[in-house]
Each structure stands twice: as C-alpha cells, then as structure tokens.
Amino acid sequence: MLAIACAVLGGLVGAMVPAVTRRLLGVPAGPPEIGAECGAVRGAGGGTGLAPPGWLWVPLGALVFGGLGWALGPGPLLVAALPVAAAGLALVATDLACLRLPDPLIGGAFLGAAAVLGVTSIANGDGRPLLRCGLAGLGCAAAYCVGLAVPRAGLGMGDAKLSGLLGFLLGWLGWPAVLLGLALPYVCNAPVVLGLLLTRRVRRGTPLPFGPALLAGAYLTILLVR
C-alpha cells in the first residue's frame, strides 16, 4: 500500500514538472517545447533537443516514487528521499532541456533531507549516520570538482553540487552505497551516449547532460542496496 500511495504522489509531482521547469528556466507557457525556447530566453544558443514530451513525467514520477516506497518502506530515509526525488524530476527536465541544474532545487532538496535525517539522528541519540552523510556528500562533491579539471569530461559545477546532495542521502545507507552511487551514473550514461552517437543525434564533443545519470545511479543504488 505504501508503494502505491507513493506512486500516486509521484504521478501528481510528475504532472507539475513541465510547469515548474518552465518557471525555473524563465520560459513562457505555450505550445513550443521547453528545449526549443530556453536558449533564446537564457542566451544559451538553443536547447539540447533531448527534452521528453510533457506527459511522460507522470508515469516517470509514479515509477520513481513507487520504487522508493517499495525499497525503503516507512522510515526517515523515505521521508528524506521523496523531496530529493521531487526535485530530481525537475532537475532531469532542466538538464535535458538546457544543460542546467538550478541551485534552488538542489539547495531546497538538501535542506529537506538534512532536516529529516538530522532530527532522526537527534531522536536516536546517534550522530554517526549523519556524520557519515556529511562526509559522503563532501567527498562526492569534491570528487566531481576534481573531474571539472579533466579536459572534455563534460561535467559542470551543477553536477558537483548534485553529486554532493546524492552522496549525502546515500551516506545514510553506508559507504558501499556511496561508492556504488559514484560508479553507477557512468554505467547508466555510457549506453545512452553510445545510442545517441550511433543514431547521429549528437556528435563527439556535443555537450550532454549528466544530471539524469547521477539521479538514475542514486535511484538504482537505493533499489539494489535495500
């Protein structure tokens, strides 16, 4: 029942993603696709052409939220993970459309997760899990900051901030989950990039979003570890 309730909630959140994304990107409401207009609005030279149709966010939201409810069950980590998942859906939309990971979404999700897990640590009288979360978040963010210096890595500061948020959340599950969460985004991203290259939707050197892979890797980590 919990998974079904979470899936319904996720579907409602998914239905709001297109409107939230347009507001975050400053794209006026209307028929044109977000990715087609965001470049003109933000001066980014156009969209990526990878933004999915708006209706797809409803089943995707239901799948993500339902999976979290099934994997985590009732508990503080589910309460902390759902706001991150809600922000994550909008982050995927903005990154696919315009290669942007807005700070308000990442910061708001982090504050929500930190508040829930912080209160839980205080109630349990054990600060070690929260300390591990903090160290994991800092470590993941630092690792991606190092990756920014690698030529043609295709990473941005938004990716580093998002990895810190996801590392913080996965830290509650333990260090194996953190390490798996660092590795899986590349496993998820490789076949997608290969498929885009083979179908000639992109060329070598084309900037591509990495935020969706980060979020997919964290989601799969939760499903696998739990």
Domain boundaries, the chain: 2-225
pTM of the model: 0.89
Q: What is the pLDDT of residues 6-19, one digit of tens each?
A: 999 999 999 999 99
Neighbours of 40 (CB within 10 A): 13
Q: What is the pLDDT of residues 136-154, one digit of tens each?
A: 999 999 999 988 887 767 7
- Cα gap 202→191, rounded to integer Å: 13
Q: What is the pLDDT of residues 65-104, one digit of tens each?
A: 999 999 999 999 999 999 999 999 999 999 998 889 999 9
CB 74 within 8 A of CB 2: yes
Mean of all residue pLDDT scores within the chain: 88
